[in-house]
Structure 1
């Protein structure tokens, strides 16, 4: 509270007082001495009422004297001075006395209003000059007055509110609210006022089990928070955790798939991209193991044309009868295919030199009569050897490394007369007609390599220039057994995985067992997959991937999946340059994945596994295609991986070794039976 204002100015020295009045003043002085021992405010409140009582006798005497001098009679200023015996009160009284005369007339008019007007003039608290709301009492002084203020008020007239909050926040811990004549403490939201009316206590909102509904409640100073698992956000309206659709935030560079509590980004694997370290953006799939990819410009690759059509076509014309002479070096791991054809058209005389079960086979047709003969050693061991074909007067002689392995009697010549010339067609790596028209059908596709060829004593120099200008016609300088997938294509087969029991009425069963021997050159790619053309669905896939999609962790894994759902994962050291064996086995109620004999970890519950296997079985009852090394153009979300495989691989499906020469389709850059080795520095 503001201190009470001081009384008005002291009066000048007055004339000697009468004895009775001096005795009263002495008594009053003793009262003041006692008050000095009290605190200031109590002393003031104690003293002033007693001061009023001390002057009571004097005031009554003064009032009677005033009645005689100035009410019953008309008094001058000097007479009024004699009544009040001091100048301040006289100065206050007399002008107002004249005002009463002006208003009510002289005393002699005997107007009752005049008497009341004069009698009230000495009391300066009548009318009360103090503010009614803020004043406790008004005290009349000599020519002055004193307003005793209530708590919370100040000023001479007690008309000014005291802002208790301006000093030390009114003693409040948090919020102080000032109001006229008072104040009160309050607390911030989440706190409640203590019993002392000044301090605040935190409210534990989590004590109410319904505070957050389904979410977890965490109490905080003055508040609380409703917490959800990562990937979920709290809905205050529903009091529940709702999935956050991260895909709406544009986190993924290419394709985003939202899932409860998470999301997955997908990159265009067929375009050579994979997820980068941040799991949101994409980066190139780069080789992690260097293979010896060098090619020989002096070699001719026979397996370039998957259609089985020849890679080289030559036509010789002679004026005189001429006999065939051909010699070349040859290397292959392929057990079957066509090396060359020589002769006329399909219905005339011709020979086909081929390979069946790793041995040379000769098919020939003379004068409409076909024959097949096979002899000699197994030559599909990957080593270079020299092969020659020589047409003699009545024989054909086939030699391997200068040793004759076949000598066949023939009745006619391979060069046939036509329009005055002798003609001979020679094709390499295929035949000029369909293989079904051979004496004995054979798969014409041959993954083999030829060098140092010599056709009819070197009359074929243009072939060397053609091969030199086209790397796709050249062979790898060094190869090993296996199939090489360059990371740019796939092969597919039409296989049936349903098995019909012999017992009539028994339901069909299904089984998928795959063994893949792989030596990867990159860390991402599809090894094996099934595809339903009508639905563009991928019911099953096995692939290399370098991240864990749910944990968003970079790790080299093999993933087994039905559609886009991973059933099992297994770690693999994919970039060590070594061969690894990946095995999968799926049948009703069971799905396993093994890498190098170690079983992978299941990624689904038993119930989810049965649901996924039911989906797979449903797809298997429709026509499916079996893919090796990649997938066709499918949506990126169809499977965990869509990238092409890069590296060496052989596949065995349901205990049958898949021969890429027997595929329904194979990309021309995939070598069916040869694979470049890992560079020695990387092995």
Structure 2
């Protein structure tokens, strides 16, 4: 056991010292024409891109690394996602810091050793937290808001070796195959990083996007749709029983919404169900096939139970009451749930791959299927949506 602990410690310390403590601030670019930003910039991590690709990244010479301390602030309601990544030897040795169940998770590889360490307080409470990583003697310490969140003790001769070559760093993604991770996690992080102080390096960060999306000054839990976003699910992934049906629940301030809240459509068929908020008429309209029901935009919660021959609808205004369901007997609704698609934030179009139009603007504070919160990060298509936060 002592030999194993020492081997783990050797790899952990070297990975942490090289990767975790290696972010740059301002400096010269590498001439590739990519836009450069400061390491101290405020960065929204969930900007649209390939979900595993970094939002910004940089490369520095290891000989330039002289500091043993880095700090930054993180704010999120999201319990899971990648924060940053570092590697040497073109990805042979690597390090990843993420959240899993809201708790910091560090994964790394050094030579043939794979290490995973998790610990510290939950950070997905929507507050700004200051994270500081330092190397003190035989310990690597992750401090959270001035208190020790994760302490790893180690002793290794490897740290006496001359460090040379390149160090790559990335924010919001990784530069290796995701299959190399020891602990699987959903990479997309609806969160913000700011006020980074990354060693004494003078290297800029490069970004693939033309601009960085801003972070809202104040946030609240929910899912925010800016008027161009959509989350699409295959309805077949939801488990259900014909006797009980499928319970779909939405909550929020409907009076502040405009556009398609959700729609359901099966491949090759007409649109089956759609819920649309209209600022002009001050109404929320539920369409089931060719039938329509209008509701006041003062409603705060809507519960729909899909059954083989019936769609039951309840609205909360402010009490939860059942609507007149005599017009909602539509067997096509049930078959759609068995083989269709659910789009939240958009009206599905005629083509099966068309994400639709008439996008939603507003905040859904709660989205549930079968009594469980729906994680939009698991959608087959997620575009321009803040999956876990809304502007307050």
- Do the structures match in fold with TM over 0.5? yes
Q: Check whether the contact 1:531–1:538 (CA below 8 A) recurs between aligned residues.
A: yes
**Offset of residue 469 of structure 1:** 8.1
- 2: CA distance, partners of 1:377 / 1:429: 21
- Matched residue, 1:594: 314
Q: Check whether the contact 1:311–1:428 (CA below 8 A) recurs between aligned residues.
A: yes
- Matched residue, 1:539: 272
Larger radius of gyration: 1
- Matched residue, 2:361: 646
2:162 is the counterpart of 1:442: no
Q: Check whether the contact 2:284–2:297 (CA below 8 A) recurs between aligned residues.
A: yes
5 Å-filtered alignment, 1:548-587, equals: 555-566=281-292, 568-573=293-298, 580-587=300-307
5 Å-filtered alignment, 1:405-554, equals: 405-409=149-153, 412=158, 421-460=164-203, 462-463=204-205, 470-472=211-213, 474-496=214-236, 511-520=245-254, 522-532=256-266, 534-535=267-268, 537-545=270-278
Task: Assess, with a 3 A threshold, how the Cα gap between structure 1 residues 471 and 440 changes in structure 2: closer, same or farther.
Answer: closer
5 Å-filtered alignment, 1:208-607, equals: 298-305=41-48, 307-319=51-63, 325-344=69-88, 348-391=92-135, 395-409=139-153, 412=158, 421-460=164-203, 462-463=204-205, 470-472=211-213, 474-496=214-236, 511-520=245-254, 522-532=256-266, 534-535=267-268, 537-545=270-278, 555-566=281-292, 568-573=293-298, 580-596=300-316, 597-599=319-321, 601-602=323-324, 604-605=326-327
RMSD: 3.3
Q: Check whether the contact 2:271–2:348 (CA below 8 A) recurs between aligned residues.
A: no
After superposition, the C-alpha distances for 1:332-371 in whole angstroms (9 at most, x for unaligned) are 1111111111222676222211111111111122222112
The number of residue pairs the alignment matches comes to 344
Equivalent residue of 2:245, what SS? strand
Instruction: Considering fraction of residues, name the structure with more strand.
Output: 2
Q: Check whether the contact 1:483–1:648 (CA below 8 A) recurs between aligned residues.
A: yes
Equivalent residue of 1:616, what SS? helix
Q: Check whether the contact 1:499–1:510 (CA below 8 A) recurs between aligned residues.
A: no
- 1: CA distance, partners of 2:253 / 2:240: 36
- 1: CA distance, partners of 2:285 / 2:326: 13
After superposition, the C-alpha distances for 1:397-431 in whole angstroms (9 at most, x for unaligned) are 21112322222246546x996xxx43211111111
- 2: CA distance, partners of 1:381 / 1:422: 39
Equivalent residue of 1:476, what SS? coil
* Larger RCO (CA under 8 A, 6+ residues apart): 2
Q: Check whether the contact 1:349–1:364 (CA below 8 A) recurs between aligned residues.
A: yes
Equivalent residue of 2:332, what SS? helix
**Offset of residue 458 of structure 1:** 4.7
Task: Assess, with a 3 A threshold, how the Cα gap between structure 1 residues 660 and 570 changes in structure 2: closer, same or farther.
Answer: same
- 2: CA distance, partners of 1:302 / 1:498: 28
Instruction: Considering fraction of residues, name the structure with more helix.
Output: 1
Unmatched tracts of structure 2, length 5 or more:
1-39
Q: Check whether the contact 2:306–2:333 (CA below 8 A) recurs between aligned residues.
A: no
